[in-house]
Amino acid sequence: MPKMRERCARLFGSRPIRRVARTGLLVAALVAVALPASAATRRIALVHAEPDLERSVDLALYPWDIKVVTIEDAPPDGNAPGAAAEAKAIAQRHDADAIAWLVQGSDAAAPTLWFFDTTTLAIQSHPLPSLPSNDPAELAAVALTLKTLVRAAQWEQRSPPDVPEEPGVTWETRLELEAMGRSPSSGASAEPRAGLWASEWRGTPRLRLGAGLGASAGLGMTFDGETSHGSLHDIDARADLRASIQLGWHLDLEARLGASAHIERAQVTTTSPAATQTLSRVNPSLDLGLFLAWEVTRRFVWSIGVEGLDSLRYQRWLSGNDVVFAPSPLWIQAGSSLAWRFR
């Protein structure tokens, strides 16, 4: 029996006219069974193919994203028990999805085309007509049989693997409506408040950095002392820097650091002497907050949290030289907000 190189030489001969004819037939056969453009990249290994054949096939299959390579390994004996394992090893060694080889029969025996597909791990074969080696009909039979074997492998149904995309860096704008309760640590009662924020964010879902501007107002704090009583109303303008870290499924931890300018108006009534007066001033503060945010939908985020506001001025209100109102400089507020976000 002739050697494998001699068998393959009968298909891939050295005469120029035969090369051109055989190259055209095999290119047509491979184009006919090529995958759709949406399929994943494939590699087909042709055994002992000459350079002209490899270049022609590679050019023809390029639009279908199929890589054609030539290997010089001796193909396995298709009838041997370990043929599939040997073919798989060859395909893995060359990173190929399929290999094909032709075995010419001896004497009057018909030639056989063998095909191994790494997806099914099966070797398939098909006898070819017993024709003279130079007969174009033999090459057409090879191309038709190869087409049949590839279709049987159902390559048409293969789709590229789903590769999760890494989340990219994006910008995000949020409009927030918040409701909270604010109270000094001592010296006055708590008050309900409402606020409105606009913030801009940049980052990934895992980590975002942002900045916000906002304002809030409340119904006023009240106080009742031994010599005076009254109320304190506060409208503030606020700015802060923010950082949000993803904790889990739709859950983020958000930290805020900022400053506020409080426009305060106190109405104080003294008992001795009996008098009522209105006092006003601007009081700055440094603010620190921590929030837990839940992504309700892609558009809305609901948060709950607590903040501390530390006044930079003494919280002492004087009537003449007498202190009539002295709440704590540390204010605590807690509440929730609903943010509408868009990109």
160, with CB counted inside 10 A (0-12, 13-18, 19+), is: exposed
Residue 319 has pLDDT above 70, yes or no: no
Note the pLDDT of residue 52. Answer: 54
Domain with CATH 2.40.160.20 in the chain: 170-342
What's the pLDDT at 168? 78
- Three-point CA angle 96, 22, 157, nearest 5°: 40
Q: pLDDT value at position 104?
A: 72
Q: Which two structure tokens, joined as six digits, stand for 332?
A: 């605590």
User: pLDDT per residue over 65-103, tens digit each?
Assistant: 667 787 888 888 878 888 888 888 888 888 888 887 777
Mean pLDDT, range 146-174, rounded to an integer: 65
CB atoms within 10 A of CB 20: 12
Average pLDDT, the chain: 77
- Residue 1 binned pLDDT confidence (cut-offs 50, 70, 90): very low
Residues 6+ apart with CB under 8 A from 216: 178, 180, 193, 194, 195, 196, 235, 236, 238
Distance CA 325, CA 224 (A): 9
The CATH code of the domain at 170-342 is 2.40.160.20
Q: What is the full DSSP assignment across 145-211?
A: HHHHHHHHTTGGG------PPPPPPEEEEEEEEEEEEEEESSSS--EEEEEEEEEEEEE-SSEEEEE
CA dihedral of 314, 318, 322, 325, whole degrees rounded to 10: -70
pLDDT band, very low/low/confident/very high, at 238 (cuts 50, 70, 90): very high
Helix pair angle (136-152, 16-32), 10° resolution: 30
Judge whether residue 262 has pLDDT over 60. yes
Mean pLDDT within 311-316:
77
- Determine the average pLDDT of the residues in 251-273: 89
Identify the residue with better confidence: 6 or 222: 222
What six digits make up the tokens of 90? 């060859």
* pLDDT value of residue 101: 77
Contact yes or no for 284/312 (Cβ under 8 A): yes
Q: In this predicted model, what pLDDT tens digit does every residue of 31-59 receive, in sequence order?
A: 444 444 334 567 878 777 656 556 655 66
Alpha-carbon distance 285 to 259, whole Å?
6
In this prediction, residue 157 carries a pLDDT of 45
Report whether pLDDT(259) > 90. Answer: yes
Tell me which residue has tokens 């494998």: 4
Which is more confidently placed, 310 or 55? 310
Residue 215 predicted with pLDDT over 90? yes
The mean-pLDDT minimum among 11-20, 138-147, 228-237, 263-272 falls in 11-20
**pTM, two decimal places:** 0.51
Q: Does the pLDDT value for residue 9 go beyond 50?
A: no
The CA distance from 176 to 211, in Å, is: 13
Contacts of 277 (CB under 8 A, 6+ apart): 267, 268, 270, 319
Is residue 13 scored above 70 in pLDDT?
Answer: no
- Residue 118 has what pLDDT? 83
pLDDT of residue 167: 64
Helix (H, G, I), strand (E, B) or coil at 328: coil
State residue 71's pLDDT score. 86
Give pLDDT, residue 14.
Answer: 46
DSSP code of 91? Answer: H
If you average pLDDT over residues 166-182, what whole number do you get?
A: 89
Question: What is the DSSP code string of 253-317?
Answer: EEEEEEEEEEEEEEEEEEETTEEEEEEEEEEEEEEEEEEEEEE-SSSEEEEEEEEEEEESS---E
Of 47-51, 181-185, 243-247, minimum mean pLDDT range? 47-51
Predicted local distance difference test score (pLDDT) of residue 250: 87
Rg (CA), the chain: 41
- Give the number of other CB atoms < 10 A from CB of residue 83: 17
Separation of alpha carbons 219 and 299, rounded Å: 30
86, 103 Cβ separation under 8 angstroms: no
Tell me the per-residue pLDDT of 105-139, one tens digit each, with 9 for 90 and over: 766 667 777 778 888 888 888 786 765 555 556 65
Give the Cα separation of 78 and 21 in Å (integer): 28
